[in-house]
Chains A and B, each alone.
Chain A
Amino acid sequence: MSQNKTLPSVVWESGLVVKPVYTAADRPAAPPEEPGAYPYTRGIHPTMYRERPWTMRQYAGFGTAAETRERFRYLIDHGQTGLNVAFDLPTQCGLDSDDPMAEGEVGRVGMAVDTLADMEEAFLGIPLDEISVSLTINGSAVAIMAMFFALARKRGYPLAALRGTAQNDILKEFVGRGTWIFPVEPSVKLVVDTMEFCARHVPRYSPVSVCGYHIRESGATPAQEVAYGLAIASAYVERALARGLPVDDFASGISFNFDVHGNLWEQVVKLRAGRRKWAKIMRERFGAQNPRSLQLRMIAGGGGGGLTIEQPENNIVRGAYYALASALAGTQTMALCCYDEAYTIPSEHSARLALRTMQILMHEVGACDTVDPLGGSYFIESATDAMEQLIDRILADVAADGGIVQAIAEGRIQAQVNLQAYELEKKLRAGETPKVGVNCFVEQEAERPVELHPYREEEAGKQVARLAQQRRERDAAAVKRTLGVLREAATRGDNVMPAVMDAVEAYATVGEICGELRAVFGAYQEPIRF
């Protein structure tokens, strides 16, 4: 033990110091915790993966709806159990495929959606009651969610039973990812509109997936990622409560999306601590009673920020460790970034490898054998406690500074995480933070074995032509009328979702719907800081 004094110190990104060894003395007064019971540190279900293995949901989508459906079919045929839909940037920014700002971007990083017809095409033949669908959409979420609901209704799935998830966390878009459209307050109002609409009409749907993920990718530490995520989720809860919705009517519609890369143990304890903290916030602060309101359900994995351009095959190995950490932390859904994702839209080959990585973990090496296998470890439990305290401190600081919405609106969170990203980059460049293939074990790489996803200009052209045809064939009077009603609803401050539903059913476009909202709410002016 005397040697310990000379060991180099180990400090995690979040700032927690790790001791060389932990004993029973590190957690003397720990209350016994059970999985499936408050505060859910050990998992939200009593039997976890023994009964409910995680859903595998790779992010996919590109080109037209028809092309995207092919990739969906490919993933489902290879054993994927959910879909995670990528939309192109014009769709995400509320612009139509024929908008001048859309030039060169149609169908490039995701599927192009202009009207309900595109969504109908994308999900043709996919059973929406068997394959759970997650829509990665934020700024224009009201339009895309309404299209999904309209599509389900047309296909005969009653909204009362429809399941699925939308990302629809606009606050994190202002911190990272950047697909905002409207100013901060009306943007948050729209999120709460979807929460209220779902609570009343689509009660089994999860309208909001709060993303610590992108805040972490922008430079936040794991503790900040979880703390800011919980603060953002709490802001949505507060606003829904202010509308008079009972907390247990909508709280289970909030889920979370966390990023797994960096130190293996730090990721596991941040997710355990986050789960405990969310249960406490929901019960103690918001008075929730229903267990589902208290349970932090999550998608975890991804880990894009941990992947490297250098020696890209190393990313396959990283993905396996990130998957392991996510499983050890008890995630409900898993998605992994593909090894070529630092370069391109993943190939079928690399998407299949990511899927196989999760399948090997689930079916071959015993990750599902028992619940919370690290539970009770002196180290993990003690670090979970320390992480919870750190998250508490960050939450208290945010609250003392005027709350998360104000901090984001003023660009303070952005400035802080961007500065941290810069400091981290400098440490990486200086070799102080080891990164294999980047600053240690570096190789001269002649040609990197990555096949680049082809961008087919003609597919973009097809989408623009398809949109022109839809504009010609639809009932112009119905479009005009429903868009007028939408503008009135937005002006009055009503929940816009019923009007958006009518507009999408009349085949109004994403651009037209967001255009009406922009006319009422204005456009976001980004605080320019670096």
Chain B
Amino acid sequence: MTTATGKIRVLVAKPGLDGHDVGAKLVCRALSEAGMEVIYTGLRQSPAAIARAAAQEDVDVVGLSILSGAHLPLCRMVKERLKAEGLADVLWLVGGNIPARDHAALKELGVSGIFPTGSPFDALVAFVRAHVARELQPS
């Protein structure tokens, strides 16, 4: 979970073949400026590689950036892999070109927050802080 430094750890990943990474990199920088530890996978990651990286890096948050329209099939595959890595409960976010009609299906898969293109950084940072803090509360 959050490291000894108390920083929230976030994995930002580009699943599938989509090469549009401007948004993912903007988000990486914004989260980093907000004081979080950000690990960026780079392009063209398989769902298995993303889940493995999330486990190895012991992150609090997994954020996927998808602009190709393939978010539903990719998220279905990522969900399985996260589960296999024992990360079914990680805070899972999706950003990019995600039309409203697909939000419910993504939520059903276990995506906690959806941040379509144009979402303000502040809202993303606040969402992450609020949700990670809640998960860290002792029950």
Contact = CB atoms under 8 A, between A and B. Distances in A.
Interface of A: 89-90, 92-93, 95, 100-105, 108-109, 173, 176-179, 217-219, 308-310, 342-345, 418-419, 421-422, 425, 429, 438, 452-453, 455, 526, 528, 530
B26 A422 contact: yes
B102 to A, nearest CB: 9
A526 B43 CA distance: 8
A438 B117 CA distance: 12
Contact of A309 (B16, B17, B116): B116
Contacts of B101: 452
B138 interface: no
Given A178-B20, A309-B118, A422-B30, 10 more contacts: A101-B16, A105-B68, A109-B69, A217-B22, A342-B117, A421-B22, A425-B26, A452-B101, A526-B43, A530-B32
B7 interface: no
B69 A344 contact: yes
A344 B21 contact: no
A528 B42 contact: yes
Contact of A429 (B77, B117, B121): B121
Contact of A530 (B38, B44, B118): B38
Determine which residue in B32, B40, B73, B116 has the highest number of CB atoms from chain A within 10 A of its CB, and name it. Answer: B73
B107 interface: no
Contact of A101 (B17, B19, B72, B118): B17
Contacts of B72: 104
Contact of B40 (A173, A309, A530): A530
B99 interface: yes
Given A103-B77, A530-B40, A309 B22 contact: no
B117 to A, nearest CB: 6
Contacts, number: 95
A421 B41 CA distance: 19
B70 interface: yes
Contacts of A95: 17
A436 to B, nearest CB: 14
Given A89-B68, A528-B42, A344 B99 contact: yes
14 contacts: A89-B16, A93-B17, A101-B46, A103-B77, A109-B68, A177-B20, A178-B19, A217-B22, A309-B116, A418-B22, A425-B121, A452-B99, A455-B69, A530-B29
A421 B99 CA distance: 23
A343 B17 contact: no
A105 B99 contact: no
Nearest to B101: A452
A178 B69 CA distance: 16
Contacts of B44: 93, 101, 178
Contacts of B43: 178, 526
A108 B117 contact: no
B114 interface: no
Contacts of B74: 104
B128 interface: no
A341 B19 CA distance: 16
Interface string B107-129: 00000000011101100000000
B18 interface: yes
A102 B28 CA distance: 26
Given A343-B97, A528-B40, A422 B29 contact: yes
The 3 closest A-B pairs by CB, nearest first: A178-B19, A104-B73, A89-B17
A310 B116 CA distance: 12
A528 B57 CA distance: 16
B52 interface: no
Determine which residue in B25, B29, B30, B38 has the highest number of CB atoms from chain A within 10 A of its CB, and name it. Answer: B25
Given A104-B70, A530-B28, A177 B16 contact: no
Contacts of A104: 16, 70, 72-74, 77
A238 B139 CA distance: 66
A90 B17 contact: yes
Contact of A103 (B19, B28, B73): B73
Contacts of A343: 97, 99
A398 B43 CA distance: 26
A105 B17 contact: yes
Contacts of B73: 103-104
Contacts of B42: 526, 528
A455 B43 CA distance: 23
B71 to A, nearest CB: 9
Contacts of B41: 528
A219 B68 contact: no
A400 B130 CA distance: 48
A178 B97 CA distance: 17
B119 to A, nearest CB: 10
Contacts of B69: 108-109, 344-345, 453, 455
Nearest to B76: A104
A438 B26 contact: no
Contacts of A217: 22
A52 to B, nearest CB: 34
A429 B30 CA distance: 12
A135 B133 CA distance: 50
Contacts of A92: 17
